[in-house]
A and B are shown apart, each in its own frame.
Chain A
Amino acid sequence: MHEKDSKVEELKKRKEQILQGGGEKAVAKQIAMGKLTARERIIALLDEDSFHEYDMFVEHEARDFGMEGKVLYGDGVIIGTGTIYGAPVAVFAQDFTVAGGSLGSMHARKITKIMDYALRMRIPLIGINDSGGARIQEGVNSLAGYGEIFWRNTLNSGIIPQISVILGPCAGGAVYSPALTDFVFVVDNISKMFITGPDVIKSVLGEEISQEDLGGAKVHAQITGNAHFYAESEYECFEQIKKLITFIPWNNTRKARRFEPKDPKACYNIEEIVPGDPKQPYDVRDVIRAIVDDSNFFEIQEMWAGNIVIGFGRMNGETVGFVANQPLVMAGVLDVDSSDKAARFIRYCDAFSIPLCTLVDLPGYLPGIDQEHAGVIRHGAKLLYAYSEATVPKLTVILRKAYGGGYIAMSSRHLRADFVFAWPGAEIAVMGPEGAANIIFRKEISEAANPEEMRRQKVEEYKEKFANPYVAAAKGYIDTVIEPAETRKLLLHALEVASTKVSDRPFKKHGIPPF
């Protein structure tokens, strides 16, 4: 055998060994948990044969507590680059079969290396998390590793898209890397995220709760809002990630990929979706589907704070971010969670130059002791801040109700929306007719022979005069009143006009948003 050939043989042998990860037993355990292995995940996520791995030969650093004799292939994490529908992405995937995917200093250094790559090359970063947490044998070096990751997550934020996929445990400090990224994906029965796990809670509190009930996929998709996408299986999750990648740009200096423009599907008739009675619920997502190309609306955080709908669609082939009040859920009110949800999405779209389209139909803010005490003032302020600060094209369509503070918050002219359109049935007023009539005509109502009849009359009177779009239109607060059927045409035109928008703002280091 040639010497050169034997060297290649040796390389192949070394690689072969590393590809086994934690070995047969550990892999069998991973499969028994209903999980794919780290390598299977990367293959399923990326375009065929597109993955190229780096730092395969990295070895772990711990030399205490019996770790010196151990071999941890790749130190429990796989890093590399590949493509999704041809778009380049940087990937890391923690390998639970190698020392439980625990994070030691070399493991962290591999992750930070691929993060630096992603930033330098200005490509999206996808992190697959499946780790038991800090490698205790490596002590503070492990903590340092987490800190280095968090710092880079923050540095990369708003420059490249950062996506976290939780496919196993992600506990303790480790949860903060996903929390700092733009989109978090979870899978039922597989994802587990918490700061302190069930064991600690049991020993400190004596309270027993399962990992699933404490921080499973459903909890984060429905209750905490930590997750943006929920899937029943890992394969479904990868399809969601791929779809997301088609909607977002590679970095903040580029536009998302342009698709062939398509008309909305005929089954969504925009004239038939919104009931005339402002108290009748309907699904605002159908209005979005009646507007966007091919009726293809990709919703984000579908299961959390359903009273506001956020997500991506395309107009004339280009990505647009949609924010819409959802009358079907909580009557579409603004509250702590819906403000928080929309504000973060608006900032995402603004950072990546994705135009915003806001559909308005809300009765105002949710009244309640729990809301006030939960800080609806400061959380609600996030929405005002995000809209005010966003300089991407901002288009607003008032479908029905826009009362009071809710009117201002939902991308109004006053927060510098570029185009504000209203449907003929829109009611733009300082408050709803019933509330307003009760205040303005309090005396007349209380002194009337028949107060109920008088109240009804006064509500009607107020509705007649103010519950329409023309008072606001007379002041130029809305640009025009449009027929529902014209909505898509006008939005397409507005997007074209606004595509060269210039927005000068005074210099500042940064503002101080009400986080």
Chain B
Amino acid sequence: MTKIDINGNTHDTPKLNDSQLNTLAVEDGEYKTLFTPKFSGYKKWEQHNEKLIRAFIPGTIVEVFVKPGQPVKQGDMLLILDAMKMNNQVKSPINATVKEVNVKVGDKVSKGVDLVVLE
């Protein structure tokens, strides 16, 4: 096929061969096609685990209230995550026992990092 550039000149473009194409499954079966960079970069979905307390926002840990082995009730404060000029209270969503505390005061954490693991 030929391609025309911005100045109206034509260029021959190499024909696509099958090895450059990926397989995309849709409702009507599989198609041979190219992927967008964004599609290639998608992360696989994970089931939400309420025992895994993750940073919902990037920030800094300013206080930690719990230790491994400590029982906690739903609504108990686990730690304070300072982010966006706000002391965000991170609370336990369930009654459980603290299994791991992966952060200490002063740690900077990214979004999605495991802060506390309950069991």
Interface residues of A in 268-287 (CB under 8 A from B): 268, 279-281, 283, 286
Of A294, A363, A433, which one neighbours B8 at CB under 8 angstroms? A294
A452 within 8 A of B: no
B94 within 8 A of A: no
B74 within 8 A of A: no
Of B32, B34, B83, which one neighbours A279 at CB under 8 angstroms? B32
Q: CA–CA, A240 to B7, complex, Å? A: 10
Judge whether B108 and A265 touch: CB under 8 Å.
no
B26 within 8 A of A: yes
Of B2, B8, B37, B58, which one neighbours A222 at CB under 8 angstroms? B37
Judge whether B37 and A223 touch: CB under 8 Å.
yes
Judge whether B45 and A370 touch: CB under 8 Å.
yes
Q: CA–CA, A280 to B21, complex, Å? A: 11
A352 within 8 A of B: no
A347-385, CB under 8 A of B: which get 1 and which 0? Answer: 000000000000000011011111001000000000000
Judge whether B33 and A330 touch: CB under 8 Å.
yes
Judge whether B42 and A370 touch: CB under 8 Å.
yes
Judge whether B28 and A431 touch: CB under 8 Å.
yes
Known contacts A206-B108, A243-B6, A373-B45: A329-B28 contact under CB 8 Å:
no
B86 within 8 A of A: no
A304 to chain B: which residues have CB within 8 Å?
36
Q: Residue on B with the closest CB to A401?
A: B28
Judge whether A267 and B10 touch: CB under 8 Å.
yes
Known contacts A265-B10, A267-B2, A337-B38: A205-B31 contact under CB 8 Å:
no
Interface size, A (range): 35 or more
A432-450, CB under 8 A of B: which get 1 and which 0? Answer: 1111000000000000000
A207-239, CB under 8 A of B: which get 1 and which 0? Answer: 100000000000000110000000000001001
Q: Residue on A with the closest CB to B110?
A: A205
Of A204, A305, A337, which one neighbours B83 at CB under 8 angstroms? A204
Interface residues of B in 1-58 (CB under 8 A from A): 1-2, 4, 6, 8, 10, 16, 21, 24-39, 42-43, 45, 58
Judge whether B28 and A363 touch: CB under 8 Å.
yes
A283 to chain B: which residues have CB within 8 Å?
1
CB distance from B38 to the nearest CB of A (A): 6
Of A223, A268, A295, which one neighbours B38 at CB under 8 angstroms? A223
A468 to chain B: which residues have CB within 8 Å?
none
Judge whether B4 and A297 touch: CB under 8 Å.
yes
Q: Residue on A with the closest CB to B13?
A: A283
Known contacts A281-B32, A283-B1: A364-B27 contact under CB 8 Å:
yes
Judge whether B1 and A330 touch: CB under 8 Å.
no
A322 within 8 A of B: no
Interface residues of A in 293-311 (CB under 8 A from B): 294-297, 304-307
A327 within 8 A of B: yes
CB distance from B113 to the nearest CB of A (A): 10
A331 within 8 A of B: yes
Judge whether A330 and B29 touch: CB under 8 Å.
no
Judge whether A330 and B4 touch: CB under 8 Å.
no
A329 to chain B: which residues have CB within 8 Å?
33-36
A73 to chain B: which residues have CB within 8 Å?
none
Q: Residue on A with the closest CB to B107?
A: A206
B42 to chain A: which residues have CB within 8 Å?
368, 370
Of A205, A206, A330, which one neighbours B24 at CB under 8 angstroms? A330
CB distance from B88 to the nearest CB of A (A): 13
Judge whether B45 and A280 touch: CB under 8 Å.
no
Judge whether B4 and A363 touch: CB under 8 Å.
no
Judge whether B45 and A328 touch: CB under 8 Å.
no
CB distance from B68 to the nearest CB of A (A): 24
Q: CA–CA, A3 to B21, complex, Å? A: 77
Of A205, A328, A367, which one neighbours B27 at CB under 8 angstroms? A367
A123 within 8 A of B: no
Residue with the greatest number of chain A CB neighbours at <10 A, chosen from B35, B38, B42, B108: B38
B8 to chain A: which residues have CB within 8 Å?
294, 296
A333 within 8 A of B: yes
Known contacts A207-B110, A330-B36: A239-B28 contact under CB 8 Å:
no
Judge whether B28 and A327 touch: CB under 8 Å.
no
B110 to chain A: which residues have CB within 8 Å?
205-207
Q: CA–CA, A330 to B110, complex, Å? A: 32
Judge whether B45 and A369 touch: CB under 8 Å.
yes
Interface residues of B in 52-100 (CB under 8 A from A): 58-60, 83
A240 to chain B: which residues have CB within 8 Å?
6
A328 to chain B: which residues have CB within 8 Å?
16, 33-34
A-B contact pairs, 19 of them (CB 8 A): A204-B83, A205-B58, A206-B108, A222-B37, A223-B38, A279-B32, A280-B32, A281-B33, A294-B8, A306-B34, A306-B36, A327-B33, A329-B34, A331-B31, A331-B33, A364-B28, A367-B25, A432-B28, A433-B28
Known: A222-B37, A337-B38. 14 other contacts (CB 8 A): A205-B58, A239-B6, A281-B31, A328-B16, A328-B34, A329-B33, A330-B39, A331-B24, A331-B26, A332-B33, A364-B26, A368-B42, A432-B27, A435-B27
Interface residues of chain A, those whose CB is within 8 Å of chain B, are 204-207, 222-223, 236, 239-240, 243, 265, 267-268, 279-281, 283, 286, 289, 294-297, 304-307, 327-333, 337, 363-364, 366-370, 373, 403-404, 431-435
Q: Which 7 A-B pairs have the closest CB atoms?
A: A432-B28, A331-B31, A369-B45, A206-B108, A331-B33, A205-B58, A435-B27
